[in-house]
Amino acid sequence: MNKWIRLMVILMPFWFLPACSSALSLPAAAYVNLDQRVPLPTPVNSAVVPLRVAVAAVISPQGTVESYTQLLETLQSRLNRPVELVQRRTYLEINDLLEQGQVDVAFVCTSAYIAGHEKFGMELLVAPQVNGETVYYSLLLVPNDSVANDLADLRGKVFAFTDPISLSGRMYPTYLVRQQGSTPEEFFGRIFFTYSHDQAILAVANKVADGAAVDSLVYEFFLAREATIGQKTRVIHRSPPFGIPPVVVNPALRPQMKLELQNFFLSLHQDLQGQAALRAIGVDRFVPIEDSAYQSVRELLSDLNATR
């Protein structure tokens, strides 16, 4: 018996092996008790209400941040007030935010302006001027090596729309298909939405889509940045000029504020910081604009609705 006790004592270090088999010793930076939870603090409403600027998803959210940060920073320093960038997947969501007053200023698409203006009196603030013009076009893009030369050649192919209510990305190509006496669903083999123009361009460049209709402003802006896009894509059709996507405000915005904002945009090109901010979004300067500039688009859309 005694012998066995002695043996056990000798083998004692081995008892602890299984016990310590899952024990670890590592240099830890801090100790945290993961089970000691506290409710998340509800965001405090800061005393200073930020100016909320929405940018419609003409280009992808990341691209938007990269392009508009400088502009918004300039705005923030000029107004001496925090500025918050708001983005949503679709144009309609931005319109809703404007209508509910959750957004003060918005860069919207032409068709979104027409819809918003109709629905709740969305007001024009200013419009960007690009290459001396305040118009843009819808471009029908195909991959560079595609045999297609006009829309008819894209029958039964894969087509990328941008936003459901984008004028250049969906309304205009739909209008073209209707003129062929068909509907997009019948005409194209397959349709998908990219929700932004830069992604539609990339979809064609990478041959994910056989064709897409995009905003000429975005396409040119893209070409200036990435030359390879020009080598991979080809424009087979250019629309008549449309009124450029404007900067709009909620009709309920204080007139004082509206004036202040208008002054800011209109004078942006007058100093170096402003010029840099404008360059970042591919705009020469901002100019005042009237609702009449969008009349042609309005007619096209009503034509489209009529044929539906």
Partner 1 sequence: MKIPPSLQAIFRRFWDIAGGVSVRSKILGIVLGLVLLLGLGITVQVRQALTRTMAAQLAEQSVSVARDLAARSTDLILLNDLFALHRLLQETKANNQNVAYAFLLDTQGQVLASTYGESFPKDLLAANPIEPTEHHRTLILATNQGYVWDTAVPILQGQVGVARVGLSDATLRTTLATITNQLLLTTALVSLIGITAATFLTWILTRPILDLAQAAQAVAKGDFTQRVKRWANDEIGLLATAFNQMVSELEKADEIRREREILRRQLLEKVIVTQEDERKRIARELHDSTSQTLTSLIMGLKVMEGSCADLQTQLQARELRQIAIQTLEEVHDLAMQLRPRLLDDLGLQAALERLVKEWQVRHRIAIDLMYHVTQERLPDVVETALYRIIQEALTNVARHAQARNVSVLIEQRGDELVAVVEDDGIGFDISKITIGDGAQAHLGLAGMQERAALLGGTITIESEVGRGTSIYIQLPIPKAVEDETENYDFARR
Residue 228 binds to partner 1 (criterion: CB under 8 A): no
Query: Any idea what the Cα angle at residue 22 is, between residues 20 and 24, rounded to 5°?
Result: 85
Residue 32 binds to partner 1 (criterion: CB under 8 A): yes
Piece of 29-37, 241-249, 277-285, 298-306 that binds partner 1 (CB under 8 A): 29-37
Residue 4 binds to partner 1 (criterion: CB under 8 A): no
Q: How far apart are CA 144 and CA 56, in angstroms?
A: 28
Residue 36 binds to partner 1 (criterion: CB under 8 A): yes
DSSP 235: E
Q: Which of 24, 48, 147, 306 binds partner 1 (CB under 8 A)?
A: 24
Residue 208 CB, nearest distance to partner 1 (Å)?
Answer: 18
The 158-161 sheet, strands edge to edge: 190-193, 158-161, 211-215, 138-143, 233-238
Residue 82 binds to partner 1 (criterion: CB under 8 A): no
Sequence-separated contacts (24+) of 62-68 with Cβ below 8 Å? 63/196, 63/198, 66/280, 67/280, 67/281, 67/282, 68/107, 68/280, 68/281
39-68: contacts with partner 1 (CB under 8 A)? 39-41, 43, 57, 60-62, 64-65
Residue 231 binds to partner 1 (criterion: CB under 8 A): no
- Closer CB to partner 1, 95 or 134, in the complex: 95
Residue 76 binds to partner 1 (criterion: CB under 8 A): no
Residue 9 binds to partner 1 (criterion: CB under 8 A): no
Strands, E, within 111-184: which ranges? 123-129, 135-136, 138-143, 158-161
Q: Which of 86, 191, 266, 293 binds partner 1 (CB under 8 A)?
A: 86
Residue 12 binds to partner 1 (criterion: CB under 8 A): no
Residue 37 CB, nearest distance to partner 1 (Å)?
Answer: 4
Residue 84 CB, nearest distance to partner 1 (Å)?
Answer: 10
Residue 256 binds to partner 1 (criterion: CB under 8 A): no
Per-residue tokens: 44: 């405090």
Residue 87 binds to partner 1 (criterion: CB under 8 A): yes
Number of residues that this document lists for the chain: 308
Cβ–Cβ under 8 Å, residues 269 and 278: yes
Residue 17 binds to partner 1 (criterion: CB under 8 A): yes
Beta bridge partners of 288: none
- Closer CB to partner 1, 14 or 147, in the complex: 14
Beta bridge partners of 85: 53
Cβ–Cβ under 8 Å, residues 130 and 284: yes
Per-residue tokens: 114: 């027409």
**CB-facing half-sphere around the CA of 251: CA atoms within 13 A:** 12
**Positions that interact with partner 1 (CB under 8 A):** 11, 13-14, 17-18, 21-22, 24, 26-41, 43, 57, 60-62, 64-65, 69, 85-89
